[in-house]
Amino acid sequence: MAPQFKAAVTNVPTLTKSLLSTVLIITGMAYVYIYRQTLDSDTPLTHSHCPLLGLVPGMIIYAPWTVVTSLFFENTLLTFISSMVILLLCGKYLERVWGSRELLQFILVTGVASNIVTWFGLVLTFYMSGDDTYLYNVQINGLAGVFSAFLVAFKYLIPEHRISVLGGVVAIRVKNLLGLATVSSIICLVFFQAVVFYNLVNVGWVVGWIYIRFLRVQDGIRGDRSEAFALVTFFPEFLRPVIGFLSNVVYQLFVKFQLCPPTSAHGSTMYDMENQPRHSLAPLPGSARAEAERRRALALKALDMRLSKPSSTSGSPSVPAAPGATNNAEATTSANTDINANALMEQQSATNKESNVLFDATSEVTKEV
C-alpha cells in the first residue's frame, strides 16, 4: 500500500497541482465566509451556501463568475476529500496522456456546461412550480460533472482495463465505471433528494461524450466517429434501439441548424452515431480517419491480449531454456508477428505507458488466467 500511495502523490504534473491548489483555496475561502455568516447570524444556518463562490441560481446575475468558481468549491468534508483524491489520480493520468492544455479545456467545457444546464433546469423548475427554493436555497457546486466526464475519457482511452479493489475481491472494467456512477446518482436522488448531484453527473458525462465524439482534435482529425465509442455503447442492450433512433434524430437536427457538421462530403446527414450505418460512407482506405481507426483497433487488441495473458509468476519456477531453443523461439515469434509489426509495437508501447501511469496511481490490473 505504501509504494502505491507514494507513486500516487509523487511526480504530479503542473496542471493537476494547480487544480488541487485551486480546490483547496476556493473551498477554504468559502468555509471562512460561511463561518463568518454563522457568527453574524442570530439563528443557526440551515445550509452551507457561499453565493460569492458557489452557484446559487437566483444570484447568478450578481455573481456570474460563480459558473466557474463553483467547480472548485466542495461544501462538505466528504466531497472535499473525495474530490482531492479523484482529481489527483485522474488528473495525473489524463494530463500525461492528453497534455495540460487539452485537459484544462476538457475540464472547463464539461464543468461549465454541466453547471449551466443544471442552472437552467432549476430555473425552469421554479417557473413551473413557483417554489423559490430552487432559486435561493439550492447551490450548484463541485466537480461531480467533471468526474463523470473523466469516466467517459477513460472509456475512450482504456475501456478494457480491469481495476481491482478491496484486495482483489472486486474487479470491474473501466468502461463499466460510468454505469456505477449513474446508479449512485439515481440512489442519491431517490433517497437524499440530491437533485444537483444527479444533474451534474448525468449532464457531465453526456457533455464529455459530445466533446470527445465531435469536438476534440487529435492528429488533425476532429472527433471520433468509431463504432466502439458510439452513444448506445453507454446503455444496456435493451435500450440501444431506442437510444440509437433518438440520437440520430437529434444529430440530423443539429446538422440542419449547422450545430454539427455532416459526415459525408456531399452534405448527407445520414450518419448513425450509434451503429455503423448502411447509408453513410465508410472511411476511405489510406485516409487519416481510416488509419486512426486501424491503429486504435490494434492498440485495443494488443491491450486485451496482454490482459488475457496468463501470469508467468504462477505455478512452478521457470527453467532457463537452452540458447538454441531460445533463438529458435525468437525467430518463430518474429516471423509470426512480422505483419503490421511497427504499428502494433508503437500502439503497445503507448498503451503500456498509459497503463503504467494509471495503475501506479490507482490499483493493479487483474490479470485473467
Task: Give residue for cell 460561511.
Answer: 34
Average pLDDT for residues 48-61, to the nearest whole number?
Answer: 94
| Region of residue 47 (left: phi > 0; alpha: psi -120 to 50; beta: else) | beta
- Concatenating the DSSP letter of every residue in 224-291 gives ---GGG-GGGGS-GGGHHHHHHHHHHHHHHHHHTTSS--SSTT------SSS--SSSPPPPTTSHHHH
Nearest to 210 by CA among 281, 109, 95: 109
| pLDDT over threshold 80, residue 220 | yes
Contacts by 223-232, CB closer than 8 A, 24 or more apart? 224/156, 225/263, 225/271, 225/273, 225/289, 226/293, 226/296, 227/275, 227/276, 228/159, 228/296, 228/300, 229/155, 229/156, 230/273, 230/274, 230/275, 231/273, 231/274, 232/274, 232/275
Average pLDDT for residues 286-292, to the nearest whole number?
Answer: 55
Cα–Cα distance, 178 to 145 (Å, whole number):
12
Residue 296 C-alpha cell reads as 486504435
Give residue 3's pLDDT.
Answer: 65
Residue 18 C-alpha cell reads as 494547480
* Contact in structure between 120 and 140 (CB atoms under 8 Å): no
User: Count of CB atoms within 10 A of residue 230's CB?
Assistant: 21
Cα–Cα distance, 122 to 119 (Å, whole number):
5
Report residue 68's pLDDT band, with 50, 70 and 90 as the boundaries: very high
By CB atoms closer than 10 A (0-12, 13-18, 19+), residue 282 is: exposed
Residue 155 CA, chain-centre distance (Å), reads 7
Cα–Cα distance, 290 to 282 (Å, whole number):
8
Report residue 306's pLDDT band, with 50, 70 and 90 as the boundaries: confident
Q: Could you give all domains of the chain from N- to C-terminal order, each with its CATH number?
A: 8-221 (1.20.1540.10), 237-274 (no CATH)
**pLDDT tens digits for 244-287?**
999 889 888 888 887 777 765 443 333 344 444 434 444 444 44
Lowest mean per-residue pLDDT among 98-112, 116-130, 139-153, 271-285? 271-285
By residue count, the chain amounts to: 369
* Contact in structure between 293 and 226 (CB atoms under 8 Å): yes
Average pLDDT for residues 20-33, to the nearest whole number?
Answer: 96
Residue 270 C-alpha cell reads as 445520414
Q: Report pTM.
A: 0.73
Average pLDDT for residues 12-27, to the nearest whole number?
Answer: 96
